[in-house]
Structure 1
């Protein structure tokens, strides 16, 4: 079942096309990794899915219904879709105890029930046991991994159906990263919790995701099951991202230049100015299409790729 859907979503800031026609489904009980370089629009899309950013066009649907526009409706929606930030230190008030940090959302949303029991249950599910041992602790008394667990507990206290995690382990030591990723997998398996994990790290995607959506300059350029996308990538951008991983068996591909300014999106395929396939030489007809013909939007609910060279090669088989 699709819980959350971006339906042809665009977000423009003046001339800058930060998100430029994105289709993406998040289904119950699955983890999607949204990957790409910094500045490709990942965080803007995540904020839009949370209702923190209004789309310029298109819409976000939760359980088939458009997100509410009023303050009260959005507040209720955010009980179901919770944000987990990259930096747990910045996400926690240094003057609030662990108990206060987790109880804050319960109080804002006026969640019924025994507050102490709800806080204890959330901390326990986040792996902080026994929970009452952490009630009075302050953020500076916790390790980085424990602080991230407190942030996750604050989200779990509201019993959400979707977590949107923006680089959830980027600030953590390597020894702790695996523990937090294992926690997210356990929450998926035990609670049926869905998650969108925003990351630039394809290695992280391999370890946690069911599906991968690769984003470049405001659009999804390749998507599909994690095994398919990461073991047999079809888009040259995905191939380049994978080639620089330490465990890669292929020579690293250094992309030319920087990601273009989103206010100056190139004509044709937006990746063509940096494309290694085009630089290496393509048939004239294909190269002309790369430079002049825009590509259809890739639907992030299914396997797909946006590349003229791949399309021509596939149709020739």
Structure 2
């Protein structure tokens, strides 16, 4: 697969406090996002997905591994990052926190143009971005302040601020988590329309597999710093192979059968267990179903998934099950 954005062998380690071991927030990730493709990065809080997203944006330099965009390796000098961030934009989950309450909508959207020294018609560019984000007529919103808008309108302003620079990829971190259920569908439909109209690629970071089902072409399920299952969304979400993915899916309202309640919290990323990193919480292993591979689950590490389009899983039990 020819990736617009590619990560290879990505590791991000943070120093431990007071002599504690370093925390391996991202612990070996390969990931591709193709042109015009929406990839959902899914997992519990603390699994490393936001750190991975920030690393792909160039906000956190990797401890090891590479990020390439359009075939060129990402550099971390200020000029290289500035050029990169014109092509790759971030959309945060909390529009209230990412919009300055003292700035009008016009100034919020125009900020990126001013930072990058845009030489065209600023007013026309802002109007077009607001219109594409679904705020029409755009001039009606120019002089309004964030507190005068609904939550959905504020999120559309944030999206307009990302669109105004004409990016090729957006990274949306929990883009609808703070919105009412009635508005979430509108924002997801907007992201899909932008993909169709502009050929825009997106990485959508979420804990919600239902959201992934509605918007993504591919899904990558992350646990304790590593992607444990990935593939086309229909393949992964209709026939999940990793016990962790099965557990995440089981709590959706439309899921058949009883929810799988995972015991305990994800392990400390400074103390990643041997073998499969999920084995201490694995309901399949605890039930005795995986007895034939139990020793491997506890002791034998699994390879990094390649991140290509085909469905892949990092699980001894699943790989041994016909």
The equivalences for 1:162-241 within 5 A come to: 162-241=169-248
Q: Is it true that 1:310 corresponds to 2:318 in the alignment? A: yes
Rounded to whole Å, the distance in 1 between the matches of 2:66 and 2:290 is 39
Deviates further, 274-283 or 173-182 = 274-283
What is the CA distance between 1:23 and its match in structure 2? 0.4
Deviates further, 89-98 or 292-301 = 292-301
Structure 2, unaligned runs of 5 or more? 16-21
Q: Which residue is 2:106 aligned to? A: 99
Q: Is it true that 1:85 corresponds to 2:92 in the alignment? A: yes
1:217-247 per-position Cα deviation (integer Å, ceiling 9, x unaligned) = 0000000001000000000000000001111
Structure 1, unaligned runs of 5 or more? none
The 3-state SS of whatever aligns with 1:136 is coil
Deviates further, 275-284 or 264-273 = 275-284
Q: How many residues align?
A: 314
What is the CA distance between 1:301 and its match in structure 2? 2.4
Q: Which residue is 1:20 aligned to? A: 27
Q: Which residue is 2:119 aligned to? A: 112
What is the CA distance between 1:250 and its match in structure 2? 1.8
What is the CA distance between 1:300 and its match in structure 2? 2.2
What is the CA distance between 1:66 and its match in structure 2? 1.0
Q: Which residue is 1:10 aligned to? A: 11
What is the CA distance between 1:272 and its match in structure 2? 0.3
Rounded to whole Å, the distance in 1 between the matches of 2:48 and 2:84 is 23
Q: Is it true that 1:61 corresponds to 2:62 in the alignment? A: no
1:146-182 per-position Cα deviation (integer Å, ceiling 9, x unaligned) = 0000000000000000000000000000010000000
What is the CA distance between 1:112 and its match in structure 2? 2.3
What is the CA distance between 1:284 and its match in structure 2? 4.7
Scaled by the length of structure 1, the TM-score of the pair is 0.98
The 3-state SS of whatever aligns with 1:165 is strand
Rounded to whole Å, the distance in 2 between the matches of 1:269 and 1:312 is 14
Q: Is it true that 1:242 corresponds to 2:243 in the alignment? A: no
Rounded to whole Å, the distance in 2 between the matches of 1:267 and 1:106 is 48
Rounded to whole Å, the distance in 2 between the matches of 1:288 and 1:282 is 13
The 3-state SS of whatever aligns with 1:137 is coil
Q: Is it true that 1:161 corresponds to 2:161 in the alignment? A: no
Rounded to whole Å, the distance in 2 between the matches of 1:147 and 1:38 is 24
Q: Is it true that 1:150 corresponds to 2:157 in the alignment? A: yes
Deviates further, 298-307 or 234-243 = 298-307
Scaled by the length of structure 2, the TM-score of the pair is 0.96
Runs of 4 or more consecutive aligned structure 1 residues displaced over 6 Å after TM superposition: none
Rounded to whole Å, the distance in 2 between the matches of 1:301 and 1:31 is 14
